[in-house]
Amino acid sequence: MTQLILASQSPRRRELLATLGVEFTTLTANIDESVRPGEAARAYVDRLALAKAQAGLALSGLAQKCWVLGSDTSVVIDDQVLGKPSSEADFQTMMRLLSGRTHQVLTGIALVSKGQCLHDLVTTEVTFMALSKQQISAYWHSSEPVDKAGGYAIQGLGAVFVTRVVGSYSAVVGLPLHETARLLGQARFSLCQGLMPF
């Protein structure tokens, strides 16, 4: 039986993948997530998703009979990738950039096995309301933004700032379900309790 491994310890990605009804295990694939000089946001996200999957495959020890799923989600505005806030000041800068504007959330997914690679990249547009200093400060002190790309969680308290989403909500959370199901179908996994094929 072919094994599926999720190269992530993100609780959100685990929950999303579990909804597809496929059995999987997880591992942590630690890679350098620095943006390379001159690297475009789409290329960055696509590269990280693939790197995570390939690192997971190398760690698995099951290269002959498994597929590894890697994913990366980044918030992008003005061609700038917003990572996890390094401090409250960094977070406030991010929120001022996002306040009252539309930004993009790019999510790359890569499904790899020995000699095979399937991948996709999903772009979702998210619009924020105009934020006051008090709202930004209160959100920071909720502790939710600390480990979130772009400084917010759309599946949490950060959703109160979102006025519009165009595209895949699950991609913003961390794993685009439609596209992931399609790649898993191409890899001949049985999932979704009869909702296949994709």
pLDDT for the residue 12: 93
Q: Report d(CA 77, CA 19) in Å as an integer.
A: 30
Q: What is the pLDDT along the chain (198 residues), one digit of tens a residue?
A: 689 999 998 999 999 999 998 999 999 888 999 999 999 999 999 999 999 999 999 988 765 689 999 999 999 999 999 999 999 999 999 999 999 999 999 999 999 998 899 999 999 999 999 999 999 999 999 999 999 999 999 999 999 999 999 999 999 999 999 999 999 999 988 776 666 655
Q: How many helices (H) and strands (E) does the chain have?
A: 6, 7
Q: Is the pTM of this model over 0.75?
A: yes
pLDDT for the residue 57: 92
Phi, psi of 87 (to 5 degrees): -165, 170
Alpha helices in the chain (DSSP H): 11-18, 41-60, 88-98, 133-140, 169-173, 177-186
Which positions are catalytic? 72
pLDDT for the residue 107: 97
pLDDT for the residue 63: 58
pLDDT for the residue 65: 80
Q: Residue written as tokens 């996994």?
A: 189
**Quick one: angle between helices 11-18 and 177-186, nearest 10?**
60
Q: Three-state DSSP class for 39?
A: coil
**Quick one: angle between helices 88-98 and 133-140, nearest 10?**
130
- Domains of the chain with bracketed CATH: 3-194 (3.90.950.10)
pLDDT for the residue 197: 59
pLDDT for the residue 28: 87
Q: Report d(CA 39, CA 32) in Å as an integer.
A: 14
Q: Report d(CA 56, CA 66) in Å as an integer.
A: 10
Q: What angle do CA 62, 7, 140 make, to 5 degrees?
A: 165
Instruction: Give first-to-last CA distance, the chain, whole Å.
Output: 21
